[in-house]
Chain A
Amino acid sequence: MIRREAVFSNKLLPYLLVAPQLILTGVFFLWPAVQALQQSVMKSDPFGIRTRFVGWENFKALFADPFYLGSIRLSFLFAGAVAFLAMSLALFLAVQANRQLRGSQIYKTLLIWPYALAPAVSAVLWVFLFQPSIGVVSRALQGLGIPWDYHLHGGQALLLVILASVARQISYNFIFFLAGLQAVPKTLIEAAMIDGASSRRVFWSVVFPLLTPTTFFLIVMNTVYAFFDTFGVIDALTKGGPGKATETLCYKVYLDGFRNFRINSSAAQSVVLMAVVILLTAFQFKFLQRRVHYEGGG
């Protein structure tokens, strides 16, 4: 009798243990996601009273809209620039930090901690530095004869948003590159040195190839970051403007959903975004097996 009770509770127990998080995730992740999918194939009248099924129509309209196509191009340009700059700078910094220089611990702390900062808060600092009439950097640029005003020039606005996004992502990339570098066996480098390779040669033909898994992983993560996590930066600095110069896909989803009240178009856009994430994740899984070497000890 007692024994049977124990067996019964053992069968039920795992479900009880998993239930709270499962319910929370179901209600606050899965249900809204299903709703978004549903909205993307529906059309509501302006008052939201009647909705009807329209199939692919929202998607067709989206890909016929030159503004949306422009936003796609902009997002890829933006993501490419952010990923490239944030990764190459972080790699350079990580290589320097990996040498046992004096003060490298302070240096690491200084590099990593901005990552903990709220994007909405650090954006306030960027506004303050680059604000056309009073920002200290703007005035320095104007002093050099550069007509800096990112409220007027789309190219400058895009550049500023790219720089602000890069500054934040450097910390993240730095952590991974440093971990990757520390996993490179010292003996390998010494052997190459003994063979007479210059330190630059050693880096590009021995160290960098060993970082390939980290690099691939970071390409995916940086692209995901540039596509989805730059809302706070764009909202604080440019609000997508001037014109549509910094209106990336993720900012457009928000604008259409909450400012222009084009719910169905916004839903279709978010489904496109999900497709992007799934593609990126699939790409990452292809290379996932190859990044186990520094994950040991888990």
Chain B
Amino acid sequence: MAVAGKEMEVAVHALRFLAWRAFLYVALVLTVAVMALPFYWMVTTSLKDVVQALRIPPVWIPNPVVWNNYPSAWGAAPFGLYFFNSFFIAVVTTFLDVITSIPAGYAFAKMNFWGKNVVFNLLLGTLMIPGQMLLVPSFVLINRLGWYNTYYALIVPWTAGVFGIFLLRQFFRTVPDEFWDSARIDGCSRFRYLFQIAVPQVRPGIATVALFKFVGSWNAFLWVIIMTDKVGLRTVPVGLRYFMLEVGTDYPRLMAAATMAIVPILILFLFAQKQFIQGIARTGLR
């Protein structure tokens, strides 16, 4: 009797464990479903015709599958140009930011100079300036520089930033001083040492800085609509928003365009997920 009771208890315990596990899986699947629904709906809608897209009850699996929305969306607005702009602006911005942040990050990590702490704190202080505060004065500045409606307006201001300096400083600090000591004895200049010996050792940090700069520049929206109003300078997010206003109720075409807009960032993310997570976790910056 006592033994049976014990077995019973074990069985109940196992059952409760299984039930809890099952509940967890259901909860997880549900959350993932909710997170994934907008993307599922986007992709499937892009493969429907207009009638299917608006049918009640909603059509979950497109039938027949309509591929034509993609070439049609591509042709309806200059998406080729939008993609070129986004790539061009993001690549140049990233390059300039990295190439200027490397020496600054190194100097703050490994060199002593008069005013170093004051300058570094001043730079960190810029993190406390809300972007909204800079909008009107930046608009005036860009106009005075004669940069309104130019690539300069979308590139140069974005190459300034504390994130890269701050992160690279952290990385350069981990490079042992002995490397520089022995390089110096061999007659190596500081500059050559920096780019030939120190930089290769902080490659993960550079990758993270580049990734964040690229994504940040690619996703920029408000800055672009304020500093430019030429179709020729629209980036992908801006172009998509204008496309949304232009297509009206042709939702399959809009969703085809949205899918195309997301793909490059998705690919980049899948390749660089580790850097992405580390970049966020290490600095706490947005």
State the A residues within 8 Å of B (CB). 10-11, 13-18, 20-22, 24-25, 27-33, 35-36, 39, 89, 93, 96, 99, 101, 107, 109-122, 124-129, 134, 136, 139, 167, 170, 172, 175-176, 179, 217, 221, 224-225, 227-229, 231-232, 235-236, 250, 253-254, 257-258, 263, 266-267, 270-271, 273-274, 276-278, 281, 294-295, 298
Tell me the smallest distance from the CB of A97 to a CB of chain B, in Å.
8
Chain B residues within 8 Å of chain A by Cβ, number? 93
State the B residues within 8 Å of A (CB). 24-25, 27-28, 31-32, 35-39, 41-42, 45, 53-54, 56, 58, 100-101, 103-104, 106-108, 111-113, 116, 119, 122-123, 126-141, 156-157, 159-162, 164-165, 170, 174, 190-191, 194, 215, 218-219, 221-222, 226, 236-238, 240-241, 244, 249, 251, 254-255, 258, 261-262, 265-266, 268-270, 273, 276-277, 280-282, 284, 286
Once the chains bind, are B255 and A117 in contact (CB under 8 Å)?
Answer: no
Once the chains bind, are B219 and A120 in contact (CB under 8 Å)?
Answer: yes
Chain B, Cβ-Cβ closest to A236 = B241
Q: Which of B100, B128, B160 contacts A281 (CB 8 A)?
A: B128
A-B contact pairs, 15 of them (CB 8 A): A22-B119, A28-B157, A32-B134, A109-B273, A116-B265, A118-B265, A121-B262, A125-B39, A128-B251, A179-B281, A235-B222, A236-B241, A258-B136, A258-B139, A276-B130
Contacts of A30 in B (CB 8 A): 122, 126
If A25-B126, A116-B265 touch, whether A128 touches B132 (CB-CB below 8 Å) is: no
Q: Considering the chains assembled together, what is the distance between the CA atoms of A96 and B159 in angstroms? A: 39
Once the chains bind, are B136 and A273 in contact (CB under 8 Å)?
Answer: no
Tell me the smallest distance from the CB of B125 to a CB of chain A, in Å.
9
Q: Considering the chains assembled together, what is the distance between the CA atoms of A128 and B162 in angstroms? A: 36
Once the chains bind, are B39 and A101 in contact (CB under 8 Å)?
Answer: no
Contacts of A35 in B (CB 8 A): 137, 140-141
Task: Determine chain A's interface SS by DSSP, over half rule.
Answer: helix
If A17-B103, A295-B282 touch, whether A28 touches B119 (CB-CB below 8 Å) is: no
Chain A, Cβ-Cβ closest to B261 = A121
Once the chains bind, are B241 and A271 in contact (CB under 8 Å)?
Answer: no
Contacts of B24 in A (CB 8 A): 96, 99, 101
Contacts of A267 in B (CB 8 A): 133, 136
Once the chains bind, are B237 and A120 in contact (CB under 8 Å)?
Answer: yes
Q: Considering the chains assembled together, what is the distance between the CA atoms of A252 and B133 in angstroms? A: 12
Chain A, Cβ-Cβ closest to B285 = A221
Q: Which of B32, B41, B191, B238 contacts A120 (CB 8 A)?
A: B238
Once the chains bind, are A114 and B35 in contact (CB under 8 Å)?
Answer: yes
Q: Which of A10, A28, A228 contacts B190 (CB 8 A)?
A: A10
Q: Beyond A33-B137, A109-B273, A271-B133: 5 further Cβ-contacts under 8 Å? A: A18-B108, A22-B104, A29-B129, A32-B138, A258-B136
